[in-house]
Every structure is written in structure tokens, then in C-alpha cells.
């Protein structure tokens, strides 16, 4: 199980990826007073030789941590930018079926960067191969952080505790 980590403004420290702590780190943050507990898992208590505590479900940092404002290039972020939709045939894909396609193939001098990478299904990617005859209708671009955050929110989160929902909308 994980603990949702909020900034001191009650927003997750990060949405990309979602700021989660292991239960062990959550206990450390609590003991070191780096964060205060907002909600507990009601049915989960950890024990040591002379101490016991419920496991935190949601914690808020005591000091504000500056948020990221830039987006790093990754396959997952390209897939998110394109909403897991093949940019050639417009089929909605499961994450495991997404492939990264270079609009201008690497063999022809294309670079692995935002402006040259799109989500493609396996068959479109294979059909295109190392040619430039297929072009996506929309040119790929570098999204800003908040665009990706909003797309991530639209897809929803794997919520481990219903109390998290109040902080993820």
C-alpha cells in the first residue's frame, strides 16, 4: 500500500508521476515530523517491539516543496500527450500496445524528441517503417506540465484509498 503525499498547499507534490510514499517512508516522514498525517488506513497497524501506529493514507508536508514546471521526455509522457491514441489510425490503445514512432525515422536523421515522436499502434508503426510517406495529421509538440497533468487527471488514478479522491480532482 502507498501513502499519498501532499504539498503544504493540499495538492499532490507531483502528478507526473503521482507523489506516493511507501508505508515505511511514510512512517519515517511522520517520526521525523517532515509531514503531518491527514488520514490513516483504518485497518492497518504496524508494530515494533515497543511501539505501534496506524499506517498513514494521506500526509501533508510541513514545508512547501516547489513544484516541477517542466516535462521530461519519456515514452509514457508521449503516450499521455497523445491520450493513448494512434496518431495514424486514431485507434484508442491500451498502454501496453502503444509504440513510439519517429515521424522522421532515426535512419534518416530524425531525433528522439517531443517534436518528432508520436504514439502509434504496432501495425501502423510497422507499416510506416523507416519511411516518411506516412505523416500524422497533427504535428507533434512539447506539451507543458499542466496540459499533461490535466490529461492525467482525465484518465483517472488508481486510488488505493477513497479518501484520496478529494485531493486528486
- pLDDT tens for 26-58 read 999 999 999 999 999 988 888 888 888 899 999
State how far the alpha carbon of 61 is from the alpha carbons of 29, 31, 162, in Å.
Answer: 9, 13, 20
pLDDT tens sequence across 75-131: 999 999 999 999 999 999 999 999 999 999 999 999 999 999 999 999 999 999 999
Reply yes or no on whether the pLDDT at 68 is more than 80: no
Q: Which of 123, 135, 74, 129 is CA-nearest to residue 105? A: 129
- The whole-number average pLDDT for the span 60-77 is 90
pTM (2 d.p.): 0.81
Q: What is the pLDDT of residue 69?
A: 77
> Residues 63-99, buried b or exposed e (16+ Cβ, 10 A)?
eeeeeeeebeeeeebbbbbbebbbbbeeeebeeeebb
Q: What is the pLDDT of residue 58?
A: 95
Please give the distance of CA 135 from its chain centroid, rounded to a whole number: 27
Domain ranges of the chain: 2-64, 75-148
Reply yes or no on whether the pLDDT at 73 is more than 80: yes
Q: Which residues sit opposite 12 in a β-bridge?
A: 6
Between 21 and 68, name the one with better pLDDT: 21
Reply yes or no on whether the pLDDT at 67 is more than 90: no
- The whole-number average pLDDT for the span 131-141 is 92
Strands 117-120 and 35-47: unpaired
Pick the CATH number of 75-148 from 1.10.1370.30, 3.60.15.10, 1.20.1740.10, 1.10.30.50: 1.10.30.50
Amino acid at each position: 500500500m502507498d501513502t499519498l503525499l501532499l504539498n503544504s498547499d493540499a495538492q499532490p507534490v507531483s502528478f507526473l508521476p503521482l507523489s506516493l510514499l511507501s508505508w515505511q517512508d511514510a512512517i519515517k516522514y511522520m517520526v521525523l515530523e517532515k509531514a503531518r498525517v491527514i488520514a490513516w488506513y483504518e485497518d492497518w497497524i504496524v508494530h515494533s517491539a515497543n511501539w505501534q501506529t496506524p499506517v498513514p493514507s494521506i500526509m501533508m508536508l510541513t514545508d512547501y516543496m516547489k513544484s516541477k514546471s517542466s516535462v521530461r521526455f519519456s515514452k509514457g509522457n508521449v503516450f499521455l500527450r497523445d491520450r493513448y491514441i494512434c496518431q495514424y489510425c486514431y485507434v484508442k490503445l491500451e498502454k501496453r500496445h502503444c509504440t513510439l514512432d519517429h515521424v522522421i525515422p532515426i535512419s534518416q536523421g530524425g531525433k528522439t524528441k517531443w517534436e518528432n515522436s508520436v504514439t502509434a499502434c504496432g501495425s501502423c508503426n510497422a507499416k510506416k517503417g523507416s519511411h516518411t510517406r506516412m505523416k500524422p495529421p497533427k504535428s507533434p509538440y512539447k506539451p507543458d506540465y499542466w496540459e499533461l497533468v490535466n490529461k492525467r487527471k482525465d484518465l483517472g488514478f488508481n486510488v488505493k484509498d477513497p479518501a484520496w479522491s478529494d485531493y486528486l480532482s
